[in-house]
C-alpha cells in the first residue's frame, strides 16, 4: 500500500492546496440518487474555499451532450472551467493552470465530484502518480450506484488518498479559532452536512 506523501507530517494549507471539481453536470441529475445531497455539501465546500482563498479548477465531461455544471453550484470564482473528453481531469489546460498557479504543482489537491469510480478515480491515479497528495471529499462524491462509489473510495484509500468529509477539509484549512474567517466559516457550517450514505471502511 502506498502512503500519501508526508501523510503524518502535513496539514492542509490554503496557499499550497487546490480544489478540483470533477464533472458535476446537469445531465447527471436523473441518474445520481444522492445528487441533491451532493450539491448541498459541495455548495458549502465551494463557499468555504472561496472564503479561504483556495483556488478552484473545474472540468465538464463532454458538455455538448452532458450539459454544463449544475446551476446550483456557484463556480464563478474558479480559475478555469475546462471541457474535456478524457475521463481524468488531468488534461493539458488543467496542467497549465496548475503550473501557472503553483510554479509547478500543488502540495495537495482536494478532489470531489463524479462519477467517483470513473473520472474522479482516474484523476486521483494521475495525481498520486505525479506525487501530489490527494484529499478525496467523500460526501461530495457520487456514482450512479453507491456500491461503485464505495468500492472506489476503498481503492483510493489503498493507494494513499486521504478520505475526508467536507467539514473535515474546511476545518483543517481553517486551523484555528483565531483565523480571521472563523465566524464566517462557522456560520457556513452551522447546518449539518447532508448524509451521503457512505459505507464504513473495511477492516
pLDDT above 90 coverage of the chain, percent: 92
For the four alpha carbons of 58, 115, 171 and 73, in that order, the dihedral sign comes to positive
Q: Is the pLDDT assigned to residue 2 strictly greater than 60?
A: no
- Tens digits of per-residue pLDDT, 156-185? 999 999 999 999 999 999 999 999 999 999
DSSP 78: -
* pLDDT tens-place string over residues 81-110: 999 999 999 999 999 999 999 999 999 999
Digit-coded pLDDT (tens) for 108-143: 999 999 999 999 999 999 999 999 999 999 999 999
pTM over 0.75: yes
Instruction: Compute the average pLDDT of residues 44-54.
Output: 98
- Which residues are the active-site residues? 23, 84, 119
Averaged confidence pLDDT in the chain = 94
pLDDT at 160: 94
Amino acid at each position: 500500500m502506498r502512503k500519501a506523501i508526508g501523510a503524518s507530517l502535513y496539514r492542509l494549507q490554503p496557499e499550497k492546496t487546490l480544489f478540483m471539481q470533477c464533472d458535476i453536470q446537469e445531465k447527471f441529475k436523473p441518474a445520481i440518487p444522492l445528487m441533491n445531497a451532493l450539491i448541498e455539501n459541495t455548495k458549502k465546500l465551494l463557499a468555504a474555499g472561496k472564503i479561504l482563498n483556495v483556488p478552484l479548477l473545474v472540468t465538464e465531461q463532454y458538455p455538448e451532450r452532458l450539459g454544463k455544471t449544475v446551476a446550483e453550484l456557484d463556480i464563478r470564482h474558479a480559475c478555469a472551467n475546462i471541457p474535456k473528453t478524457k475521463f481524468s481531469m488531468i488534461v493539458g489546460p488543467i496542467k497549465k493552470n496548475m503550473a501557472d498557479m503553483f510554479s509547478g504543482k500543488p502540495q495537495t489537491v482536494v478532489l470531489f465530484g463524479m462519477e467517483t469510480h470513473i473520472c474522479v478515480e482516474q484523476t486521483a491515479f494521475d495525481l498520486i502518480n505525479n506525487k501530489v497528495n490527494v484529499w478525496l471529499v467523500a460526501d461530495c462524491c457520487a456514482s450512479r450506484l453507491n456500491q461503485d462509489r464505495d468500492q472506489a473510495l476503498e481503492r483510493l484509500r489503498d493507494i494513499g488518498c486521504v478520505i475526508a468529509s467536507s467539514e473535515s477539509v474546511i476545518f483543517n484549512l481553517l486551523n484555528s479559532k483565531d483565523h480571521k474567517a472563523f465566524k464566517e466559516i462557522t456560520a457556513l457550517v452551522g447546518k449539518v452536512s447532508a448524509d451521503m450514505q457512505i459505507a464504513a471502511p473495511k477492516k
